[in-house]
Structure 1
Amino acid sequence: MSLAIIIVTYNSARVIEACLDSLGPWARKALVVDNASSDATAELVRRRGVRLLSMPGNLGFARAVNRGVKAALSRNVCLLNPDCLATPELFSLGLAALEGGERLIAAPALDDHGQTVPGRQPGYSRLKLAHDLLTLGWPFPHKLAWMSRRPGYHDRSWYWAHGACLFMQRELFLRLGGMPTNYFIYMEDVELGLRLRRAGGRVVELPYTLPHLTAQGAVVTAARRRWLLARGRLKYAARHYGTLFAVGLGLLTLPGLWAKGALK
């Protein structure tokens, strides 16, 4: 089965070489989509003979992924973050999983600095959105842990695949409209999972744990990352739970983000 490994980069020079090294012989299947990095990312990719697609500016994760998938022309695609360290076994397992059905996404678990994060995640409820947003802006986020223990925190009627690494058929990806481009980065993988569920598809988790150097794939300040996370979640809240709900969450969250420097 044919496969293209789509890796979106933005100022990823510190991790891209290790990522490509980890692919082993699968590196020849890689397509790096670079969002106009100002560091040596593109040059490092070229030196290794890996196919490179350069964007005219930083288009965001979703648009870059969509450009890469359209250019790949393979039957199957793997979306892989540049701060992931894969092995050839991962790609064999991913392709084998895709043989199990036409409307599915397969994702490995992630090892985030010693903490295992499931690649198959339950859907977002209002409570989960509120928790995730408030923890970004509140000075003592651990005080909000009680929220995650409340009934209904997860919406287990559907699941989404963590965007750090996922496998799916290219045709299905395009049929679902690709990654939702109304998100610059963050929450587009959640939206994709919701689209999959509405199309009658499902998400499966691979028997594999992928080392993931969380938040190392791009040179972005912690404050900027918090703002991008908040913006994505507020957009999702407005889209699926209404503008008033999103505005209320924003009023509770944004002052704390300002205090932490995310809005300066």
Structure 2
Amino acid sequence: MPADDLPPTQETVTAIVVAYDSAEVLPACLDALAGEGVPAIVVDNASGDASAKVARAHGATVIVNPRNQGYGRANNQGVAACRSPFVLIVNPDLVLQPGAVAALLAAAERYTDAGMFAPRIVEPSGRIFIQPRSLLSPAHLNAASAAVVPDGDACLPFLSGACLLVRREIFLSLGGFDPRIFLFYEDDDLCRRMRDSGHALVHVHAAEAQHARGRSSKPSPARRFNARWHLAWSQAYVAAKHGLPAPPLGSVLKNAAKTVGYALILNQIKMMAHAGSVAGGIAWRRGQTALTRQKLAAEGPGA
């Protein structure tokens, strides 16, 4: 796998940033990491823009994938390429604020039974994002309206995959992100497995990150279709993996009706989004895999 100048093995933490047409947002992300003294590995998922060039110009190590390997599989590549005891998984449209990494590492020293830590994620509106619910969450916690923003450190059932400090040894012992998932629910699945293995998940209030959600790559009808295909497929896959009921057939029919409705009013973006949901749901029922759709080998990078 092409890579250049991997970071020193004695570093405490290495950041892993998965890029896909992310040239516009990478500079701020990587500059913030450099300001925190954190070396970064950027795994470029076959971007069509200058993401790899931008990453190198900002001092990052770059692994270039000839094909898009998906979010979890690409992060697995990055984690495998470093040797630091901690890895910091960071979305390219997220900017860590000064002192955030130090606060996360200090929390790791305080909470030795915890496996993953997440900063206080602040959106452009000023809202603090807390993962309010998940398909894999216990029923009594699975209510967005009941979500409470902690005013200090707190154990949570799930953490956002936008930024995670993870003990590398535990990450590897759990098999990393599930390589059968191309996109969506990979962070929920990892959180669930982390909790099931006896390791707490900690929200670290003193660590702040600014997150411009949805700006990792530019949208298009084709990308919206593909994203919603994987959202529907991954939901069904993760439910089956953890012994939960499959999404009802009615959800496919509902999305089919919305596809027709948006086609009639010529809203291409929303039409393609709902069409993708229909296709992903049907593909799951037919036994098609996410990797088959992306023409990826199960034993390839990230597996």
Q: TM-score range by the shorter chain?
A: 0.7 to 0.9
TM-score normalised by the chain length of structure 2: 0.70
Higher relative CO (Cα under 8 Å, sequence separation at least 6) belongs to 1
CA offset digits 1:135-174 (Å, max 9, x no partner): xxxxxxxxxxxx8569xxxxxx971221000111100100
Asked if residue 45 in structure 1 is aligned to residue 43 in structure 2, the reply is no
Alpha-carbon distance between aligned partners in 2 of 1:72 and 1:202, rounded to the nearest angstrom: 24
Q: Which amino acid aligns with 1:229?
A: L
Give, as a single letter, the amino acid of the residue that structure 2 aligns with 1:238.
Answer: A
Deviation at residue 126 of structure 1 after TM alignment: 8.5
Find out whether 1:80 has 2:90 as its counterpart.
yes
2:255 paired residue number: 254
**Which one-letter code corresponds to 1:47 in the other structure?**
A
- Selected match of 2:196 from 192, 195, 198: 198
**8 Å CA contact retained: 2:123, 2:211:** yes
Give unmatched runs, 5+ long, in structure 2.
1-10, 147-154, 261-270, 277-303
* Alpha-carbon contact 1:83-1:212 (below 8 Å) kept: yes
Contact 2:89 2:163 in 1 (8 A): yes
The answer to which of 254-263 and 101-110 deviates more is 254-263
Cα gap change, 1:44/1:242 in structure 2, threshold over 3 Å: closer, same or farther? same
CA contact (8 A) 1:24 1:88 kept: no
Cα pair distance change 1:51/1:122, threshold 3 Å: same
Q: What's the CA shift string for 1:193-246, capped at 9, x where partnerless?
A: 110111011111011332111110122336334443333223223333456x32
Identical residues among aligned pairs (%): 31
Match of 1:117 in 2: 129
- Aligned runs of 1:200-215 on 2, under 5 Å? 200-207=198-205, 208-215=207-214
Q: 1:112 to 1:87 in 2, by over 3 A?
A: closer
Distance 1:189 1:165, change over 3 A: same
Unmatched segments (≥5 aa) in structure 1: 132-146, 151-156
Q: Which structure would you say has the larger Rg?
A: 2
Q: CA deviation at 1:55?
A: 1.3
Question: Displacement of 1:111 after TM fit?
Answer: 1.7
The secondary structure found in structure 2 opposite 1:163 is coil
Partner of 2:177: 179
**TM-score (normalizing by structure 1):** 0.80
